[in-house]
Chains A and B, each alone.
Chain A
Amino acid sequence: MQSYISIENLAKSYGVVTAVNNINLGIEKGEFFSLLGPSGCGKSTLLRMIAGFETPTSGAIKLEGADVTDVPAHRRPTNMMFQSYALFPHLTVGKNIAFGLQQDGLEKSEIRKRIDEVAEKLQLTALLDRKPAQLSGGQRQRVALARALVKRPKVLLLDEPLGALDKNLRTETQLELVRLQRELGLTFIIVTHDQHEAMTVSTRIAIMKQGQVLQVGSPAEVYETPRSRYVAKFLGETNVFAGGRAERSGEELRIESDEAGGGVRAAFTDRVALDRPFWVSVRPERVELSTSGSGLEGTVEQLTYTGVERHYRVRLNSGATLDARRVNLGAESDLRVGDRVFASWSPQASRLLAE
């Protein structure tokens, strides 16, 4: 079945530098889709190709089945919210929002109606006569959003839209964006380098590295079952050990790891080839630490209190470090720096990863 937006073998090079390398993606109608990756991974270039600001070197972009690869930016049914907001400094908020509608040649009364509608939705009604220079960062962000939304695009593209906001406002605005997206039923594509932001807002995330998409899935999928070391480390924190000889017994694997200094149990999977180099990973919040029992032996080297959690860094006997976390439930920590501990976790918490 054809996706709402389908990106087919898309590539973009600047001279010898390949920014986007043969990407295939399908995005469905009504999705809040994230392109997540470090700076320079090609996520912004990909977004700019969807907007029509960059011409792909090869490949195609299709919207509702129609090829829009060669359609210039001003004729595409997409609108972009820029990282810098790109508000027109010589126009008032009202005229900024009206800009695209005037360009479409809409009737004055219709323009008025649509501006009032979007201004009310985004709490901008009182600010319509101000110039952008007279607004706070959060207000500018809302004007930029209003200016793009008022055109009723089929796809709204957001390029690091919350990067300039402080942390508290950012969290608030993320939830606001999700609410707005559900309410309008529009398709949003957002570019971000903030994994927390991608997890919060998205229906699906594409994790990118060096111009390629490594994995696509819902936030839970990519967090719980990362397919590669890179994805596992990029999304949240994780402990990774090189795997050695593996022995299967029923639905369980027992993996010898020199790096971890002992055996690690994992649920059997045929997704990862065990005859090639592979790794075992476990999230810090899934690790249990106890002063007696069995597991990987080590010493508590550092203890950090963050309020919500306590973070333990354990130096294993093998020399590797292992991070563990416990939710703060009010009790004092029974572990101190220097204590001998045993680290263990359930086989289901282990993930096998390819390179």
Chain B
Amino acid sequence: MSSVVLSSAAAPSAKTNWGKRLLIAIPYAWLLVLFLAPFALAAGISLSTVRLGMPPFEPLTAWDGSILNLRLNFENFLYVLTDDTYLLAYLTSLKIAAISTAAMLFIAYPLAYGIASCAPSSRSLLVFLVIVPFWSSMLIRVYSWMSILRNDGLLNALLLKIGLISEPLRILNTETAIYIGIVYTYLPFMVLPIYSTLSSADKTLIEAARDLGCSRISAFWRVTFPLSLPGVLAGCALVFIPVVGEFVIPDLLGGADTQMIGRAIWLEFFNNRDWPMAAAVTIVLLALLVVPIVYFQSRQARTQN
């Protein structure tokens, strides 16, 4: 028996035909042109020196007579890694991303669970409602939050009218506003993968757990939840990674005292016109994100084996 299982599992598609290779080649070519090449450019710029003019950085190589000089400037990296401002910005970004990812998980899981336990006929409508906000531009939605959260905004007006507060709360331009904006904007990316694992789960497994002595709650924790972990991990990765580099939401909703790394990069590029420094900050951010991605990937691969 075991030999049969092993041979069928270990038999790779030995006959990889050309059609298949072409099919894989197209997306890889796409990634090469639109991801790897810009990445190489940014990496190159990060090792250069700022100068006045266009482009605003020195070339890495220069001919000196018959000698090709290669000048790599690591000062930007040393500065990024030792300067408190950047360190703080990285930490703030990671903290905000971690807390908002956790908040989204707490909101999204019950929501996804609720949708998945509805009758199949009403599920598609509920999923549709989750993604309806994408129909309008993210910028417009963030601006709407500004008018809701302002001191004289909708929220404060409502709370004052009910009599819960006697003077307006200051929410806009605080970290709270950033959390509200991020959780609101990214929630669907957390809901959808969790919903997809929950809705495709085999319902008889719950019955089997109940039959073996589980109450509804313990059946959830021993069967439903562990089986939904791939969806939870996918959702976390989908929101955590872009939130770390988020620029628009902290810029519009946050205050001057909350410096996230996306904003730091923007400032270096457009205010200071220090492209090499901005590129160095970006490369370090990428390195910070690649670590968790690789971790999730290897974890995923392990659970599938």
Q: State the interface size on chain A (CB cutoff 8 A).
A: 27
B223 in the interface (beta carbon within 8 A): yes
Interface residues of A in 183-210 (CB under 8 A from B): none
A109 in the interface (beta carbon within 8 A): no
Query: Contact at A100–B213, with CB atoms within 8 Å?
Result: yes
Query: Contact at B1–A99, with CB atoms within 8 Å?
Result: no
State how many angstroms separate the Cβ of B135 from the closest Cβ of chain A. Answer: 37
Chain A residues with CB under 8 Å of B42's CB are none
Chain B residues with CB under 8 Å of A151's CB are 212-213
Chain A residues with CB under 8 Å of B218's CB are 103
Query: Contact at B207–A86, with CB atoms within 8 Å?
Result: yes
Instruction: Give the distance in Å from the alpha carbon of A88 to the alpha carbon of B218 in the complex.
Output: 14
State how many angstroms separate the Cβ of A198 from the closest Cβ of chain B. Answer: 23
Q: Which residue of B lies closest to A144 (CB)?
A: B208
B-side interface mostly = helix
B214 in the interface (beta carbon within 8 A): yes
Q: Which residue of B lies closest to A98 (CB)?
A: B212
Instruction: Give the distance in Å from the alpha carbon of A177 to the alpha carbon of B26 in the complex.
Output: 55
Chain A residues with CB under 8 Å of B69's CB are none
B202 in the interface (beta carbon within 8 A): yes
B205 in the interface (beta carbon within 8 A): yes
State how many angstroms separate the Cβ of B216 from the closest Cβ of chain A. Answer: 9
A134 in the interface (beta carbon within 8 A): yes
A39 in the interface (beta carbon within 8 A): no
Known contacts: A100-B213, A103-B213, A151-B213. The answer to whether A134 contacts B207 by CB under 8 A is: no
Chain A residues with CB under 8 Å of B214's CB are 74, 103
Interface residues of A in 129-164 (CB under 8 A from B): 134-136, 139, 147-148, 151
B209 in the interface (beta carbon within 8 A): yes
Query: Contact at B207–A88, with CB atoms within 8 Å?
Result: no
A84 in the interface (beta carbon within 8 A): yes
Chain A residues with CB under 8 Å of B207's CB are 53, 73, 80, 82, 86
Query: Contact at B208–A73, with CB atoms within 8 Å?
Result: no
Chain A residues with CB under 8 Å of B9's CB are 134
Query: Contact at A79–B5, with CB atoms within 8 Å?
Result: no
Q: Which residues of B contact A (CB under 8 A)?
A: 1, 4-5, 9, 202, 204-205, 207-215, 218, 222-223, 226-227, 303
Q: Which residues of A contact B (CB under 8 A)?
A: 51, 53, 72-75, 78-80, 82, 84, 86-90, 99-100, 103-104, 134-136, 139, 147-148, 151
Q: List 12 A-B contacts (CB under 8 A).
A: A74-B213, A74-B215, A78-B211, A82-B207, A86-B205, A88-B208, A88-B209, A88-B223, A90-B303, A99-B222, A103-B222, A139-B1
**Which 9 A-B pairs rank lowest in CB-CB distance, beginning with the nearest?**
A100-B212, A103-B213, A86-B208, A86-B204, A73-B210, A80-B211, A74-B213, A74-B210, A90-B226
Further contacts, 4 of them, CB under 8 A, given A79-B211, A80-B208, A136-B1: A53-B207, A78-B211, A84-B202, A86-B207
